């Protein structure tokens, strides 16, 4: 029995969906432990494309799939996602999907406030998806959130709603917007409660009992480590902790139940939204990376910013999450390049540093120090083992391993599930 946590080591969009799908065949339970429906995971199965936001990726493999207490849930988005997946032929039953009774809800006023506040920031916009995730997490920390359990307890719901609306209506009044009416919120919560109730359970006990039964558990994160609320490029970050430690907190278990941490790492770098990006390529090379890699957001459709691999950043996030090995994804996107650059340091104030600055203002000033490697200009797709890869592709991987101080455990060479080279199985 082995429990594995999956985290992104960059700014998200590293290809976690495919890797979780690949590993879920070896898992018995898959747990989503943070984020909301701003996440986007694409899975290709039998030439059918599944796009998930809230549902754990393991659900496509009909594995017990848990939405943990660390997730903020838009109930309408979840219901729509379930209906969409069911139209593709997969029935989502309460036996298959489990929702934590402690997870917090995203309500219509969270989305309204999210967009209102973002639109007042002008050039200082964070780049939020406007889905209410940030305000929902703020309510959680402010102790005024409506949780899943409050759907079925009118007394606790009433107290939480009074606290939430007292806070939010002051803000709306200041923005000359209509106040939220408690009766309207209660009405929609009453409507949603019976739909979600069959899926709701004490997921903490379920995870612990699964562990005691020697079942393999896969903990699935969303976004990437550089979007972590504490350790990312603050304030251009998401509203939750995205590092591996959150897999315990966001699931209701102790950290000793996490046996292995796998970092998902793209063979180059991308970012959606605003914020620092040292290796960004605002040129034809960046455009080509985006075109070959189909770099558009799964949820928003927004074009991703593209750049070379940043070894300094990935080394930092590996240390943050105590990562044992990485799954290197989208290696095939680099197949046609004659030369490939890797960032091995940052230059700032005429000094070279090999650490990530704490302040985004400092990060905006740094210039990447590159090392140039020869490309392989051969297809890596359909390679079934490390030995089958082109010589220069192997050299690229070995160089990355040395720079990030972490072994490559898996290599993905296309969106197809079978185009995956396993070097070291995380479920050992």
Residue 299 has pLDDT above 90, yes or no: no
The model's pLDDT over 171-199, given as tens digits with 9 standing for 90+, comes to 999 888 999 999 999 999 999 999 999 99
- Render pLDDT for 384-406 as a digit per residue (tens, 0 to 9): 999 999 999 999 999 999 999 99
Cβ atoms of 133 and 38 within 8 Å: the answer is yes
69-83, 93-107, 409-423: the lowest-pLDDT one = 409-423
**pLDDT (0 to 100) of residue 355:** 95
Would the pLDDT of 122 be above 70? no
pLDDT, greater one: 42 or 261 = 261
Predicted confidence (pLDDT) per residue in 322-332, tens digit: 999 999 999 99
Residue 109 in this model has a pLDDT that exceeds 70: yes
**pTM across the whole model:** 0.93
Whether the predicted pLDDT of 84 surpasses 80: yes
pLDDT at residue 143 tops 70: yes
Which pLDDT belongs to residue 298?
Answer: 63
Comparison of pLDDT for 43 and 341, the residue scoring more: 341
User: Would you name the residues annotated as active-site residues?
Assistant: 13, 41
Produce one character per residue of 195-232: b if its CB has 16 or more CB atoms within 10 Å, e if not.
ebeebbeebbebbbebbeeebbbbbbbbbbbbbbbebb
* Band of pLDDT at residue 24, cut at 50, 70 and 90: confident
Separation of alpha carbons 355 and 346, rounded Å: 8
Neighbours of 318 (CB within 10 A): 22
Average pLDDT over residues 249-270: 96
pLDDT at position 39 over 80: no
Q: Please tell me the predicted confidence (pLDDT) of residue 123.
A: 62
Closest CA to 344 of 374, 309, 370, 307: 370
User: How far apart (Å, rounded) are the C-alpha atoms in residues 40 and 299?
Assistant: 5
Return the pLDDT at 21: 83
What pLDDT score was predicted for residue 46? Answer: 75
Q: Does residue 196 contact residue 151 with C-beta atoms inside 8 Å?
A: yes
Residue 351 in 3-state DSSP? strand
Residue pair 146/110 in contact (Cβ under 8 Å)? The answer is no
pLDDT at 14: 94
> What was the pLDDT predicted at 104?
98
- Between 265 and 38, the higher pLDDT residue: 265
pLDDT tens readout for residues 331-366: 999 999 999 999 999 999 999 999 999 999 999 999
Per-residue confidence band for 20, with pLDDT thresholds at 50, 70 and 90: confident
Tens of pLDDT, residues 49-79: 888 899 998 898 999 999 999 999 999 999 9
- Look up residue 176 and give its DSSP letter: T
Mean pLDDT for the chain?
93
Q: What is the pLDDT of residue 40?
A: 73
Q: What was the pLDDT predicted at 118?
A: 73
What separation in angstroms does the CA of 226 have from each of 10, 118, 284?
6, 21, 25
pLDDT at 276 over 90: yes
pLDDT at 50: 85
């Amino acid at each position: 029995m082995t429990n594995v946590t999956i985290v992104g080591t960059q700014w998200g969009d590293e290809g976690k969906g495919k890797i979780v799908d690949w590993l879920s065949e070896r898992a018995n339970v898959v747990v989503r432990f943070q984020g909301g429906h701003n996440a986007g995971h694409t899975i290709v199965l039998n030439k059918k494309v599944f796009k998930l936001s809230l549902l754990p990726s393991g659900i496509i493999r009909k594995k017990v799939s848990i939405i943990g207490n660390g997730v903020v849930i838009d109930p309408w988005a979840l219901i729509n996602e379930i209906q969409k997946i069911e139209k593709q032929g997969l029935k989502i039953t309460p036996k298959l999907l489990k929702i934590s009774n402690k997870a917090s809800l995203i309500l219509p006023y969270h989305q309204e406030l999210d967009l209102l506040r973002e639109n007042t920031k002008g050039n200082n916009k964070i780049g939020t998806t406007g889905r209410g995730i940030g305000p929902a997490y703020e309510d959680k920390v402010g102790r005024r959130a409506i949780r899943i359990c409050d759907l079925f307890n009118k007394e606790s719901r009433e107290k939480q709603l009074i606290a939430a609306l007292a806070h939010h209506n002051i803000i709306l009044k200041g923005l000359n917007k209509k106040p939220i009416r408690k009766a309207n919120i209660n009405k929609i919560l009453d409507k949603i409660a019976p739909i979600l109730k069959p899926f709701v359970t004490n997921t903490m006990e379920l995870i612990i009992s699964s562990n005691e039964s020697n079942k393999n558990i896969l903990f699935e994160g969303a976004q990437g480590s550089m979007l972590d609320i504490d350790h990312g490029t603050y304030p251009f970050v998401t509203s939750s902790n995205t590092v591996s430690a959150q897999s315990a907190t966001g699931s209701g278990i102790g950290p000793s139940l996490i046996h292995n941490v796998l970092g998902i790492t793209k063979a180059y770098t991308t970012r959606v939204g605003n914020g620092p990006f040292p290796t960004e390529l605002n040129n034809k090379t960046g455009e080509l990376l985006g075109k070959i890699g189909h770099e558009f957001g799964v949820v928003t459709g927004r074009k991703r910013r593209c750049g070379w691999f940043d070894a300094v950043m990935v080394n930092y996030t590996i240390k943050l999450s105590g990562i044992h090995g990485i799954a290197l994804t989208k290696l095939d996107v680099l197949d046609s390049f004659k030369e490939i650059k890797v960032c091995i340091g940052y230059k700032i104030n005429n000094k070279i540093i090999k650490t990530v600055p704490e302040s985004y203002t400092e990060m905006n000033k740094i210039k990447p120090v590159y090392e140039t490697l020869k490309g392989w200009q051969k297809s890596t797709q359909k390679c079934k083992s490390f030995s089958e890869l082109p010589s220069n592709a192997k050299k690229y991987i070995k160089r990355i391993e040395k720079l990030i101080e972490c072994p490559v455990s898996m290599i993905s060479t296309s969106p197809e599930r079978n185009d995956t080279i396993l070097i070291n199985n995380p479920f050992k």
